[in-house]
Amino acid sequence: MGSVASFFGQLFGQQKGPEEERFLRANDRTFNLSYLYDNNAIKTSKYNVFTFLPLNLFEQFRRLANAYFLFLMALQNRHKSDRQVNNRIVSVLIDGEETNLKVKQALTVTGELGDRIDELAGFNGEVRCEPPNNRLDKFKGTMTLNGQTYSLDNDKVLLRGCTLRNSEWCFGMVVFAAQTQHIGPDTKLMQNSGKTVFKRTSIDHLMNVLVLCIFGILASMCAVLAIGNAVWEVNEGSVFEVFLPRDEGVDAALSSFLSFWSYIIILNTMVPISLYVSVEIIRLGNSFYIDWDRKMYYPKSDTPAQARTTTLNEELGQIKYIFSDKTGTLTQNIMTFNKCSINKKAYGELFDFTGQRVEITEKTEKVDFSWNELADPKFIFHDHSLVEAVREGDPEVQAFFRLLALCHTVMPEEKKEGELYYQAQSPDEGALVTAARNFGFVFRSRTPESITAWEMGKQVTYELLAVLDFNNVRKRMSVIVRNPEGKLTLYCKGADTIIFERLHPSCKKLTEVTISHLNEYAGDGLRTLALAYKDLDDSYMDDWRRRHHEASTAMDGREERLDELYEEIEKDLQLLGATAVEDKLQDGVPQTIEQLAKADIKIWVLTGDKQETAENIGYSCNMLREEMKEIFIVAANTAEGVKEELQNARRKMCPGAAEEPSVTVSRAGLFWLQKTQTVQDEKVDGDYALVINGHSLAFALEKDLQLELLRTACMCQTVICCRVTPLQKAQVVQLVKKYKQAVTLAIGDGANDVSMIKAAHIGVGISGQEGMQAVLSSDYSFAQFRYLQRLLLVHGRWSYLRMCKFLQYFFYKNFTFTFVHFWYAFFCGFSAQTVYDEWFITLYNLVYTALPVLGMSLFDQDVNDRWSFQYPQLYTPGQLNMYFSKKAFVRCMVKSCYSSLVLFFIPFAAMRDTVRDDGKDIADYQSFALLAQTCLLLVMKIQLCLDTNYWTAMNQFFVWGSLAAYFAITFTMYSNGMFLIFTSTFPFIGTARNSLNQPNVWLTMFLTSLLCILPVVAFRFLLIQIRPTINDKVRHKVRKEALPAPAPRRPPARRISTRRSGYAFSHTQGYGELVTSRRFLLKLPLRGRQIMFTPKDSSPLAENQPQHYRTIKEEEQEDTQSTSTAGGMQGLKC
């Protein structure tokens, strides 16, 4: 009823202005309906039943000469997915950047209601909050209940698309619904999803302009011929009136007018309908190639690549900028405990008998943890010496893992005896606890006052005295525990630089060794943190706890007083060592990024993750490198500060550059009505990188700073934007589209990537752990980031090359065909007489030339896929529009003009005074028409053969088959039998056999073909010798060298870096307050009511397997080892 009332309220004019505040009352539908808030249905489809026809017609008519194409367009199948979402009882969309646990807590006053339906039904709280907006990290509102007002913030709100974890049920009040007709979507997810737009390729836009030019050329040609007709009628027409009398009332002017429209009909082949039909067939075929590509099939999830559109294939060969998400796109969102440093000794690497480092592969022997009944079977480690040290009782090693088992805020879940699942706020913190578990220190359970662990098979319960929680300023966390013997210990872990500042002076030598190990870990792109401890005495602890209680209950200065106490106790620490955790990249990500960079494609990473995490992945992917001249960090909190940081970075990179950007203004589009602005690229000496935070990006995207941001970012080889909202991602893409006039591609896997995917020219969705929202909004989809290089460097490049070849050849063959008519008009009294047989005109585009050019456009390739990967530079011509442009179109017209002159005048001269072998005259119109059309067809076939680089059986069949069909049809139509049956339809009786049996006719065909083709061959030869392209060089190399073998597998190069990851666990506020509050243990009994949430089997923490970078082999993948789906980081997603 609510949706019906809202609909009719809007239908009959009950509209309202922009919302300033939203006001809701629980359990009072009448009150809430009075505000005309919409229902919870979402709408992502482009059309509805009323708008489909007009919108579709509008879109199709944007292609000139495309009115006939309306019936081929089908309604995109988005309504089905909308209904699936709207009809679910509980929305289970996995949304967001991270699959990590997020803490959401209800107000105490509402939490006490529990699941008592009678009390919930009587709840009458009123909520006042901000109007719908796109800010995912903020919410402001209040709830009034029984005269008391309570504050509501982001921690009290569940966003649409959340997944419930660690809770069997929840009751809530809907604040924002999904769709509002008058102002747009209400929910933050829909506010960030972006508008669905029609995407068209740059070739489509160019075609509109060219077709308009062709119309102008056609009109000009017809006007010239009409004027010629008028002149001829005045000067020569009276001579023919004796046997060709004029109709009454027809004078030279009227004859000229009628001649104009007659030539419009005759010369209409300059813009044939078959052009658009063929373009769509080629695009459809190239889309099937993507769908059928087994090298883009991911067997682990049974996911093939999918082209979800058929209109953008050639655009894949012109990409200049790629905008990529991080989590789930570049990474697997799986953390693995890789290495560690304990008491001056590094663990995790293997060495041979000569002391050389050994690469760890899947065949390397793994550590056997069968001695530990509680070990995670999916945890993998290869250094046996660490297990031996633990089992032999090494006190430092055992203290190291004891700290990892105790110092955290992980929540355990044990459904069956011995089957432990850890719920962690971040996957890296969970990986550390899992590592301790496998090495014999198993975190088993916790209460607000205690932590229970199994240490080397023995149960030990520690009294938990305090949790000194993590925050962005402290960059560390600590716990204070008392062991069963009564010994008090503070365990601390955090950013290595922060921990080292608080160490006891006696740790100096140990610190130096540990720092060297950390530098090696940072060189490998691992996320590190340091571990330390401190023994406490009872008297000091009693006094500290008393002061801690006073500070925590203070009304003023609570945070400052607590920080002082934390600083006081967290000093003079004893260093235990350091950990190195790997954020597992997807297979082949560094190699893919390297290949794309060689293709001159710039990759920008737009992520919602924190700066530190984004930088780590940048180093792991080799996007950030130690040898870079400088990495600029833009993190100012004011517009002036952001401007200053951007300008300082630009001046360092290019000191001599002008202060104001060089912007070129030009006209483009149909009728040149569209005004474009292009910011020119500026050359810099060396490699630079730019890292900018979301709050700084918000200022940089403002109108007065946009060009400064773009200018500085484009000078850098790598750009990383972190902590960005979905809407900011789209704004960055639109900024580059607007001022760089380059083709963009956005790739992501989550619902927060949808707006970016829609904004880019090409949107690619990765079907992974983040659900299907990105895939449903994308143009292309697959399962792994590494397939992107095959999509672009192989399928995209081939599609662009084929489309350009098709257009050049198609225009050439049709212009040449048409221009012959133009020349003939000067010799037939401008009488609108066709030079060819009418049946030839009908079958020229339909039968004789259609299949051969389609064969070339569907199967041609300059080099195969292996060579395409070997030389990514082959991709750059597409970015520069080298294969088809306005200049190429003009060259095509000049070439057609020359060919048509040869094709008309050589046969005309050869037939003018020619006689047969028996002395009879063959210089008649029918023989000339046959000779001219045969010469035209032969030239077109030879030209096609010259343009074809890759011959298949289908190409051969189409070329020779169409030529054979021509002669067969010609002899049939010019036979006595066809003339006797259809006298008026087939008047060319005997022409074929009388003409084609004469040597001089065949000699004329040879001469004409030679004169048409020889200049083309000579020009191409000289061009290759004087100015060869990258394609020419590679094709020359292909003919001389064998097929390149896949590059050998090699271990990643070891880097030593002084830059270290600050910390390897979540950068947000921790769980400390929740852990000590007793509230997380509250479980209310379920009463008899309908099940609202379907329980799902929990998944393990992570696929704890080592990451190996290997060269991507373009061979069919074989899934030789099964792995489980990662997903143990089950969190309340927002």
State how far the Cα of 946 lies from the Cα of 895, in Å rounded to an integer: 15
Question: Can you name the residues that pair with 530 across neighbouring β-strands?
Answer: 494, 578
Supply 189's token pair: 């997810």
State how far the Cα of 181 lies from the Cα of 166, in Å rounded to an integer: 36
* Contact yes or no for 471/477 (Cβ under 8 A): no
337 contact partners, CB below 8 Å, separation of at least 6: 379, 381, 431, 432, 434, 435, 579, 581, 1104
State how far the Cα of 305 lies from the Cα of 296, in Å rounded to an integer: 6
Three-class SS of residue 814?
Answer: helix
Helices (H), 305-463: 384-391, 395-406, 427-438
Three-class SS of residue 593?
Answer: helix
372 contact partners, CB below 8 Å, separation of at least 6: 438, 439, 440, 442
Cα–Cα–Cα angle for 428, 529, 454, rounded to 5 degrees? 65
Distances (CA, A) of 114 to 108, 153, 171, 234, 1092: 10, 21, 9, 101, 15
The DSSP secondary-structure symbol of 668 reads E
* Contact yes or no for 608/728 (Cβ under 8 A): no
State how far the Cα of 156 lies from the Cα of 139, in Å rounded to an integer: 9
Question: Can you name the residues that pair with 782 across neighbouring β-strands?
Answer: 766
- Compute how many other C-beta atoms are within 10 angstroms of the C-beta atom of residue 711: 23
State how far the Cα of 1075 lies from the Cα of 1038, in Å rounded to an integer: 65
The DSSP secondary-structure symbol of 915 reads B
Q: Is the dihedral of CA 806, 807, 808, 810 positive or negative?
A: positive
Helix axes 886-912, 202-235, angle to 10 degrees: 40
Tokens 């489309």, residue?
A: 803
State how far the Cα of 340 lies from the Cα of 386, in Å rounded to an integer: 9
Three-class SS of residue 160?
Answer: coil
Three-class SS of residue 375?
Answer: coil
* Contact yes or no for 580/526 (Cβ under 8 A): yes
The one-letter code for the residue type at 51 is: T
Within 13 Å and on the Cβ side, how many CA atoms surround 77?
4
Listed residue (135, 129, 130) closest to 192, CA to CA? 135
Residues belonging to the chain? 1134
325 among known catalytic residues: yes
Cα–Cα–Cα angle for 1085, 1088, 1090, rounded to 5 degrees? 115
* Contact yes or no for 682/657 (Cβ under 8 A): yes
What phi and psi values does residue 1017 have, to the nearest 5 degrees? -65, -45
Quickly list DSSP for 434-496: HHHHHTTEEEEEEETTEEEEEETTEEEEEEEEEEE---TTT-EEEEEEE-TT--EEEEEEE-H
Torsion angle of alpha carbons 439, 443, 444, 449, nearest 10°? 150
What phi and psi values does residue 296 have, to the nearest 5 degrees? -115, 20
Strand runs labelled E in 926-979? none
Question: What radius of gyration, in Å, describes the C-alpha atoms of the chain?
Answer: 37
Q: Which of 186, 325, 469, 753 is catalytic?
A: 325
What phi and psi values does residue 139 have, to the nearest 5 degrees? -155, 130
Q: Is the dihedral of CA 409, 415, 420, 424 positive or negative?
A: negative
Quickly list DSSP for 735-777: HHHHHH--EEEEEESSGGGHHHHHHSSEEEEE-BTTBSHHHHH
Q: Active-site residue numbers?
A: 325
